[in-house]
């Protein structure tokens, strides 16, 4: 949905970028392909982009996106129509991501540094590539593409949020993305694993660990705000803002919430639509961050432990140093935006296929 709403100059490039990485990820996720086949396939994946007609039919029966690889020749022929600068960025990011994926096939996310590196490979690189495409299209300034640290943080904020939220689903499928350096601080016996947090007797330690990782993710917010404030094109702004507001809403819903260890914490559909509609300007984006950070802060007990105190300190610093200089809280402006948003929500729900739109969110 966000790709479809991009300006004409960007839509094909971003769409192909997405499909190429989706193809790469379909191979990475396929547990029926043995590593000795998978690793060279991933490492050569960027070179297939310059081989018209290349397809892959070796996916396992349960890969829902296998048809993308079966008809990958279509993606390649569209890729080859893109302007050279876009092609270079897409191939370059694909190559780097594939190498990162193979690196983490042979080792785990142990340290907090590994966590940043893993998230850089699977999400930060996407942010860096997108920013280069925005700049090369001429719709954004060259600085957007150049300031890679900010683009990387945009990706890390989203990826860490997903990893934190998906604790249970990932653990139950044998995948562990919570960094051991972080979670081992909260289990008494270091030989035990992450599954300890599901036990009722460990619920307080589980919450402490959850909040500790959320604190880590919250530290990316100043970069996110800095990145967003550079953007000039409305379609690029919306494209970038939507996942970011979903992420802050998700983190705020997960904070100190034992539900993360019991099921999936989801943003209510109405809330999601409201966020999408509100996040169309820098002022509203700041208002959403301000609102969620304050909500989180208000739920922290004043006599909380060290981790809770750290959350308060991160939130207060972010509000004061990052959000306040750019944003003066105005209840009228925000409620006006809310009113316009709610009216538009009825329109969207009425005119579009509600399930398709909302399920995709």
Residue 239 a catalytic site member: yes
Confirm whether 165 is a catalytic residue: yes
Q: Of 26 and 89, which has the nearer Cβ to Mg ion? A: 26
Q: Does 290 bind Mg ion (CB under 5 A)?
A: no
The residue count for binding Mg ion (CB under 5 A) is 3
Q: Is 29 in the site for Mg ion (CB under 5 A)?
A: yes
3-state SS class at 187? coil
- In angstroms, the Cα distances linking 28 to 184, 218, 269, 289, 322 are 28, 29, 31, 34, 38
Question: Does residue 212 have an active-site annotation?
Answer: no
If one counts every other C-beta atom within 10 angstroms of the C-beta of residue 55, the result is 15
**Smallest gap, in angstroms, from Cβ of residue 28 to Mg ion?**
4
Of 95, 134, 165, 167, catalytic: 165
Q: Is 7 in contact with 233 (CB distance < 8 Å)?
A: yes
Q: Position of tokens 């919450």?
A: 207
Selecting among 56, 118, 157, 261, the annotated active-site residue is 118
Q: State how far the Cα of 275 lies from the Cα of 291, in Å rounded to an integer.
A: 12
Q: Is 9 in the site for Mg ion (CB under 5 A)?
A: no
Tell me whether residue 29 or residue 196 sits nearer to Mg ion (CB atom). Answer: 29
Contacting residue, 17, 19, 28, 209, with Mg ion by CB under 5 A: 28
Minimum CB separation of residue 166 from Mg ion in Å reads: 12
Q: Is there a contact between 315 and 296 (Cβ–Cβ < 8 Å)?
A: yes
Q: Kindly tell me which of 143 and 169 has the beta carbon lying closer to Mg ion.
A: 169
CB closer to Mg ion out of 40 and 142: 40
Q: Which residues fall within 8 angstroms of residue 33, CB to CB, at 6 or more apart? A: 27, 41, 58, 59, 60
Does 170 help bind Mg ion (rule: CB under 5 A)? no
Which residues form the catalytic set?
118, 165, 175, 239
Binding site for Mg ion (CB under 5 A): 25, 28-29
């Amino acid at each position: 949905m966000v790709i479809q709403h991009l300006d004409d100059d960007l839509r094909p490039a971003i769409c192909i970028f997405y499909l190429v990485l989706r193809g790469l990820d379909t191979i990475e996720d396929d547990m029926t392909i043995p590593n000795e086949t998978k690793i060279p396939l991933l490492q050569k994946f960027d070179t297939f982009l310059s081989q018209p007609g290349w397809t892959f039919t070796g996916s396992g029966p349960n890969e829902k996106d296998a048809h993308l690889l079966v008809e990958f020749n279509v993606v390649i022929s569209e890729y080859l129509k893109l302007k050279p600068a876009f092609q270079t960025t897409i191939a370059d990011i694909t190559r780097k991501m594939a190498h990162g994926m193979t690196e983490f096939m042979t080792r785990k996310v142990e340290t907090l540094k590994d966590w940043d590196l893993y998230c850089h490979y699977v999400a930060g690189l996407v942010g860096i590539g997108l920013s280069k495409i925005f700049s090369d299209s001429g719709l954004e300034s060259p600085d957007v593409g150049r300031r890679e640290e900010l683009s990387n943080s945009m990706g890390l904020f989203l990826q860490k949020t997903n990893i934190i939220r998906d604790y249970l689903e990932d653990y139950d499928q044998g995948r562990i993305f919570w960094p051991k350096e972080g979670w081992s601080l909260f289990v008494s016996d270091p030989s035990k694993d992450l599954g300890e947090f599901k036990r009722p007797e460990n619920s307080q330690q589980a919450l402490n660990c959850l909040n500790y990782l959320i604190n880590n993710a919250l530290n990316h917010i100043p970069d996110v705000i800095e990145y967003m404030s550079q953007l000039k094109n409305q379609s690029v702004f919306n494209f970038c803002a939507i996942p970011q507001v979903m992420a802050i809403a998700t983190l705020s819903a997960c904070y100190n919430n034992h539900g993360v260890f019991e099921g999936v914490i989801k943003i209510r559909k109405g809330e999601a639509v409201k966020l999408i509609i509100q996040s169309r300007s820098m002022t509203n984006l700041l208002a959403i961050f301000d609102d969620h950070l304050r909500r989180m802060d208000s739920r922290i007990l004043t006599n909380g432990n060290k981790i809770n105190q750290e959350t308060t300190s991160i939130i207060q610093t972010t509000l004061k140093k990052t959000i306040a200089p750019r944003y003066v809280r105005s209840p009228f402006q925000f409620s006006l935006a809310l009113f316009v948003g709610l009216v538009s929500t009825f329109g969207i729900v009425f005119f579009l296929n509600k399930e398709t739109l909302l399920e995709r969110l």
